[in-house]
Structure formats: C-alpha cells, structure tokens
Amino acid sequence: DGGITQSPKYLFRKEGQNVTLSCEQNLNHDAMYWYRQDPGQGLRLIYYSQIVNDFQKGDIAEGYSVSREKKESFPLTVTSAQKNPTAFYLCASSIAGGREKLFFGSGTQLSVL
Amino acid sequence: AQRVTQPEKLLSVFKGAPVELKCNYSYSGSPELFWYVQYSRQRLQLLLRHISRESIKGFTADLNKGETSFHLKKPFAQEEDSAMYYCALNNNQGGKLIFGQGTELSVKP
C-alpha cells in the first residue's frame, strides 16, 4: 500500500557502525518525523522536518543524524555515538506541522549484535 | 515543561464493561490533544482529536482544562478494542507532537 514506507523492517548494528534507516512518503506531505518507541516509554521524538533542507532536533537527538534533501525522503542515521540504539523506530509525516493527522510507517526494529 | 502522562501501563476489562483510559497533560497554552491507537501488527493511527469533537468506534474524549485531562472513554468495550493507546499533545512549536507512555488495553471475552 502507498503512503509512508520504512525499510528495512529489521536491522542489526555492529559495535562502532553507523546504520541508516529509510523513510519515504508519497503523500506530498511537508512535515516528516522520526520517533523512537521503547516499551514503557511511549514515543520519543528524535528529529523532525517541516520543509525540505531544514530539520530540528527533538527530545533525544544525540547519537542520531538526519537529512531532508527531497520532500519525499527523510533518512535517519544511527551513529556509533548512540550507545543504546536497540529500539523500534517509527517515521511519520503530516501535511503541515503537528496540527494535522500524522501518518505512520510500519517501523524498523534495530538491534545491536 | 510540556508533558503527557498516561498513568496506567495496562488496563484489563471484560467485554461489555465501560472503559476509561486516562491522560493528563502539562501545557501552559491552549492545547491540541489527540488519541492514537496501535492495533496488533498494524500501524499507529489517529483515533480522534479534541477539536473534532467526534466519536470514533464508540470512543469519545473530552478536554477538561480545569483538570488538564483528556481521558478516552467507551461505554461498552469490545474485544477488537484491544490495542495500545497513546495520548498526544501538539505544543504549537513547529509541529512537535508529544506522546504519553501509552496504555495497553486488553478486553477479555
């Protein structure tokens, strides 16, 4: 189905390795978001972007980086500086800002080898 | 600080019983509040938002500014309501949506 696509579904990271999670949307949405989902902690915002070539840090941006070179794409890189990367990562998009409904991807489960 | 609190990690009820999932928020401005739901093996999706004042799948939520609450209610729970429910707050700062910790609702037959 269309909408917002995350890949891969499962990802494993070795010590000291950077890994990149893909998020693509065909909804023509301006805003895109990355959340981290941990059991008992809900969703925590990592980064978000309101327009192309611009993005802001969320509450837990340390150890992560993003880019927004195209409207439809918002990849997230989990760097080696992120000491506890094992989590479920959710990408979302919305027409503009958080006032509108967020559409979520199906998520990527990242684990450390 | 803006914060959303869902005090119950797990709520277990029997089919046909009333359900209330609690959500309290901390926000100095005029809040915009939402409930999102994640059914098993499905994507997180919007259930309802307070500005719409709508009822979705029998659920309603009323914003109580005096108690800073936005509890989700349903008079008669169904087994298909079993899911993870998240309360969320839009802080009107560039579109950040702040989520609570989530409440798992289990409706038993």
Residues A27-57 pLDDT 10s: 999 999 999 999 878 899 999 999 999 999 9
B95/A99 Cβ within 8 A: yes
Mutate: best of B10, B85, B97, partner A, most A CBs <10 A:
B97
CA–CA dist A2, B92 (Å, integer): 28
Residues B60-81 pLDDT 10s: 998 998 999 999 999 999 999 9
CA atoms within 13 Å, Cβ hemisphere of B30? 3
Is the model's pLDDT at A15 over the cut of 80?
Answer: yes
**Nearest residue on chain B to A95, judged by CA atoms?**
B95
Separation in Å, CA B92 to CA A77, A99, B57: 27, 8, 28
